[in-house]
Amino acid sequence: MSAPPSPAPSPLPPLLEVQALRAELATRGGPLNMLDDVSFTLGHGRVLALVGESGSGKSATAFSIMGLLDPPARVAGGSVRFAGRELVGLAEAEMRRLRGNRIAMIFQDPMMTLNPVLTIGAQIVETVLAHAPVGRAEARRRARDVLGRVGVPGPEERLACHPHQLSGGLRQRVAIAIALLHQPDLIIADEPTTALDATIQAQILREVRALVTERRTALLWITHDLSVAEQLADDIAVMYAGRIVERGPATALLRQPIHPYTAGLIASLPRGRRGSRLTPIPGLPPTLASRPSGCAFRPRCGVAGPACAADPPWRDRLAGSAPGGAVRCVNPGQAVAA
In angstroms, the CA 294 to CA 313 distance is 10
Compute the least distance from the CB of residue 2 to another protein, in Å: 28
Compute the least distance from the CB of residue 195 to another protein, in Å: 9
Q: Which of 7, 3, 72 is nearest to 38 (CA)?
A: 3
Nearer Cβ to another protein (184/264): 264
Q: Which of 165, 159, 117 is nearest to 137 (CA)?
A: 159
Backbone angles phi, psi at 323, to 5 degrees: -65, -15
Which residues of the chain form contacts with another protein (CB under 8 A)? 53-54, 151-154, 167, 169, 197-206, 209, 224-227, 230-231, 264-265, 268-271, 274-281, 284
Which residues lie below 8 Å from residue 110, measured CB to CB, with a gap of 6+? 163, 168, 171, 172, 174, 175, 192
Compute the least distance from the CB of residue 52 to another protein, in Å: 9
Nearer Cβ to another protein (82/240): 240
Compute the least distance from the CB of residue 82 to another protein, in Å: 29
Compute the least distance from the CB of residue 206 to another protein, in Å: 6
Nearer Cβ to another protein (269/310): 269
Which residues lie below 8 Å from residue 259, measured CB to CB, with a gap of 6+? 238, 245, 246, 297, 327, 328, 329, 332, 335
Nearer Cβ to another protein (202/336): 202
In angstroms, the CA 308 to CA 301 distance is 10
Burial of 266 (0-12, 13-18, 19+ CB in 10 A): middle
Give 266's strand partners.
none
Compute the least distance from the CB of residue 258 to another protein, in Å: 17
Nearer Cβ to another protein (98/265): 265
Nearer Cβ to another protein (195/309): 195
Burial of 2 (0-12, 13-18, 19+ CB in 10 A): exposed
Query: Is 184 in contact with 103 (CB distance < 8 Å)?
Result: yes
